[in-house]
Amino acid sequence: MDISSEFSELMWLALSKEKQSSAISGNEPEMALLPGLCCQAAGGDASWADIVTAAWMLFYAAADIMDNIEDKDVPVSWWGDSGPATALSVATGLYFSATSVLYQMERKEVTKKIAPVVIQDFFNCFMIMSSGQYDDLRIPQPTIEQYWKIASAKSGAFFALACRSGARLVLGDGPHCKLYGQFGNQIGLLLQILDDLDEISFKNQLVTPATVEKLTRSLPVVYTMQMVPDETKERLKVCLQNAFHESSAAKEALAIMEESGAMLYLLSEIERNKKLALDSLTRAEATSPAGEILTSYVEKLGALP
Amino acid sequence: MSLAQVAYNLSTDADFAAKWDKNPQAALAGKGLKLTKEEFNALVTGLNQENRFESLSKLVLAATSWR
**Are A165 and A55 a contacting pair, CB within 8 Å?**
no
Collect all residues from A whose CB is shorter than 8 A from any CB in B: 24-27, 144-145, 194, 197-198, 200-201, 220, 223, 226-227, 254, 257-272, 275-276, 300-305
A-B Cβ pairs (cutoff 8 Å, strict): 105
Chain centroid offset of residue A117 CA:
23
Cβ-contact A217, A136 below 8 angstroms:
yes
pLDDT, position A21 = 47
In degrees, to the nearest 5, what angle opens at C-alpha A155 toward C-alphas A112 and A62?
65
Positive or negative, the CA dihedral A207, A210, A212, A214 is: negative
Whether the CA torsion A283, A285, A286, A288 is positive or negative: it is: positive
Burial class for B26, CB neighbours closer than 10 Å (0-12, 13-18, 19+):
exposed
Q: CB neighbours of B31 closer than 8 A, spacing ≥ 6?
A: B9, B16
pLDDT tens over chain A, length 305 residues? 787 888 888 888 888 765 554 444 555 557 889 999 999 999 999 999 999 999 999 999 999 898 888 877 777 777 777 888 888 999 999 999 999 999 999 999 999 999 999 999 999 999 999 999 999 989 989 999 999 999 999 999 999 999 999 999 999 988 899 999 999 999 999 999 999 998 898 886 677 778 888 899 999 999 999 999 999 999 999 999 999 888 899 999 999 999 999 999 999 999 999 999 999 999 999 888 999 999 998 998 777 66
Q: How confident is the model at residue B54 (pLDDT cuts 50, 70, 90)?
A: confident
Instruction: Give the ipTM of the model, two decimals please.
Output: 0.96
Closest CA to B64 of A191, A47, A65, A232: A191
CB contact under 8 A, B39 and A268: yes
All residues at 6 or more sequence positions from A73 whose CB lies less than 8 Å from its CB, including other chains = A21, A67, A208, A210, A211, A214
Instruction: Output B46-55 pairs: Cβ under 8 A, ≥24 positions apart.
Output: B46/A264, B46/A265, B46/A267, B46/A268, B46/A270, B46/A271, B46/B7, B47/A264, B47/B10, B49/A267, B49/A271, B49/A302, B49/A304, B50/A263, B50/A264, B50/A267, B52/A304, B53/A263, B53/A267, B53/A304, B55/A254, B55/A258, B55/A263
Contact A197 B60 (CB under 8 A): yes
- pLDDT value of residue A82: 81
pTM above 0.90, yes or no: yes
pLDDT, residue A29, reads 58
C-alpha R_g of chain A: 20
At position A297, the amino acid (one-letter code) is Y
B35 touches chain A (CB under 8 A): no
Give the C-alpha separation, A80 to A208, whole Å. Answer: 14
Whether residues B66 and A194 touch (CB distance < 8 A) is answered with yes
Q: Which of A265, A298, A300, A304 to mutate to test the interface with B (most CBs of B within 10 A)?
A: A265
